[in-house]
Amino acid sequence: MSFWPKRALILGESGGIGSALSEALRVNGVEVVGLSRSRDGFDLADPATVDRCLGMLEGTFDLVFVATGILAPSQHSPEKSLFAIEAEVMAEMFKVNAIGPALILRHIPKILTPDRPTVTAVLTARVGSISDNRSGGWYSYRASKAAANQIVRSAAIEIARKHKNACVVALHPGTVQTAFTSDYPGYEKRTAPVAAAQLIEVMKDLEPQQTGQFLDWAGKRVPW
């Protein structure tokens, strides 16, 4: 049976992928509620704003999509060597990319529509895969996304105990042309609307028994 949401919540709706996904869902008749740091003060680095924004939401959602994330704090870039590691930068990366999704996920049991199939998807990244790491570097980004994957997996197990129809997954969107990748002009990138359409196709095929998986934009399992 194909999953299709009536009501979706997009966290990080201001981002390249978040905005494209929001638009694609809206034009297809989904009621979308979006939250963003720049527009709503929804700041993952400030847990009180996360609780306030999520606590103010009314009603429940069939789809919750976490599209937030950073490659590096502003004025920084991913580390190319061990020597480049800075404690404060790494802490900031964990705050936004790993603790941030965890702060969101702790609200999920309250905001999922009961008695209907639901999907909760968190954008992580293939470079967060430990077994797929063949080139090293990018310590903070890789480690923060690996931590996010583990948090998604644990949340999936816990949420499944009471929400039998819930599917909670980590998704890798592929390389997408957004502000996120603007410093990497040489890479082949898909546009955000194309990436959003592909992610929607993946989510449409999700079943509750797939909860806890890490999937890419084509629906293929990514190794942890």
Ligand X SMILES: NC(=O)c1ccc[n+]([C@@H]2O[C@H](COP(=O)([O-])OP(=O)(O)OC[C@H]3O[C@@H](n4cnc5c(N)ncnc54)[C@H](OP(=O)(O)O)[C@@H]3O)[C@@H](O)[C@H]2O)c1
Residues binding ligand X (CB under 6 A): 12, 14-18, 36-38, 42-45, 67-70, 96, 123, 125, 172-173, 175-176, 178-181
Least distance from C-beta 162 to ligand X, angstroms?
Answer: 27
Nearer to ligand X, 112 or 176 (CB): 176
155/165 with CB nearer ligand X? 155
- Closest residue to ligand X, Cβ-based? 69
- CB-CB neighbours of 201 under 10 Å: 13
Report the Cα 101 to chain-centroid distance in Å.
Answer: 7
| Rounded least distance, CB 214 to ligand X, Å | 12
Give the whole-angstrom CA distance, residue 144 versus residue 169.
16
Q: How many whole angstroms separate alpha carbon 111 and alpha carbon 57?
A: 8
Per the CB < 8 A criterion, the answer to whether 117 and 103 are in contact is no
CA-CA distances (angstroms) from residue 114 to 125, 166, 191? 29, 9, 34
Comparison of 68 and 165: residue with beta carbon closer to ligand X? 68
Q: Which residue has the tokens 């196709």?
A: 201
Distance of CA 16 to the CA centre of its chain: 12
CB of 20 or CB of 167, closer to ligand X: 20
* Least CB distance to ligand X at residue 49 (A): 8
The minimum distance between CB 37 and ligand X, in angstroms, equals: 4
Residue 104 C-beta: closest distance to ligand X, Å: 10
Which lies closer to ligand X via its Cβ, residue 116 or residue 189? 189
CA distance 130 to 87: 21
